[in-house]
Amino acid sequence: MMDEVSGAYSGRASEYGERFGSMDAVHPSDRQLVSTWAEGIEGPVIDAGCGPGQWTNLLAQQGLDARGVDLVPEFIERARRTYPGVPFDVGSLNTLDVAAGTVGGILAWYSLIHHEPTTIRIALQEFSRALHPGGALLIGFFEGSVIEQFAHAVAPAYRWPVRDLSEELTSAGFEVVETHTRTTTGRRPHAAIIAGPTVQ
């Protein structure tokens, strides 16, 4: 499934980057949420599913040791050209190339929307493994009243009720700290969850 998604984004990477590859395309409340979350991060940060890299660059501009990771080589190439001072790598969200307990924050901003409900926990467990105690995860996603697939412009994606994704996070070793929802007329409902690793 993720190979198909990667291929679909590779084929439209240029178009996607032109439309969404800058902070000008970001809703102001989303920027505020991510920026506020970042203020409390201590240690390295991974922008997991970084796309064209605009969020990774924002985190770096806030003084964080930020790195972007994405499955799509074309996104990584564009990000490296656009933000030459920020590190970017091709990689999977399911197997982050970091030692356990070494990451301060993980941003997964709409990068889990293509993960099937039966397999999303693999990525969440990997995030839990990577984060150090006191670390924080921020997920952005499409909200819905039930878990269901919909026809995303690039590849099939899923919308989640906040409650259901929160339960997945709990099962993967997280404690939910905050939840946010946003509805804009004529647009799909959006949501975000901030969570931290459960203290053992």
Per the model's pLDDT, the better-predicted residue between 140 and 72 turns out to be 140
| Predicted model pTM | 0.89
Strand partners, 160: 143
Burial profile 103-116: b = 16 or more Cβ within 10 angstroms, e = fewer = bbbbbbbbbbbbbe
pLDDT digits 0-9 by tens, 111-129: 999 899 999 999 999 999 9
What sign results for the dihedral spanned by CA atoms 194, 119, 69, 109? negative
CATH code of the domain containing 14: 3.40.50.150
Phi and psi at residue 87, to the nearest 5°: -80, 135
- C-alpha distance across the termini of the chain, in Å: 33
CA-based Rg of the chain, rounded to a whole angstrom?
Answer: 15
Structural domain span for residue 58 = 2-197
Which amino acid, one-letter code, is at 174? F
Residue range 121-145: mean pLDDT, rounded = 96
Beta carbons of 169 and 145 less than 8 angstroms apart: no
**Number of compact structural domains in the chain:** 1
Q: What is the tens place of the pLDDT at every residue in 66-109?
A: 999 998 898 899 999 999 999 999 999 999 999 999 999 999 99
Q: What is the pLDDT of residues 22-61, one digit of tens each?
A: 677 778 899 999 999 999 999 999 999 999 999 999 999 9
Task: Please choose, from the candidates 175, 174, 180, the residue with its C-alpha nearest in 3D space to the C-alpha of residue 33.
Answer: 180
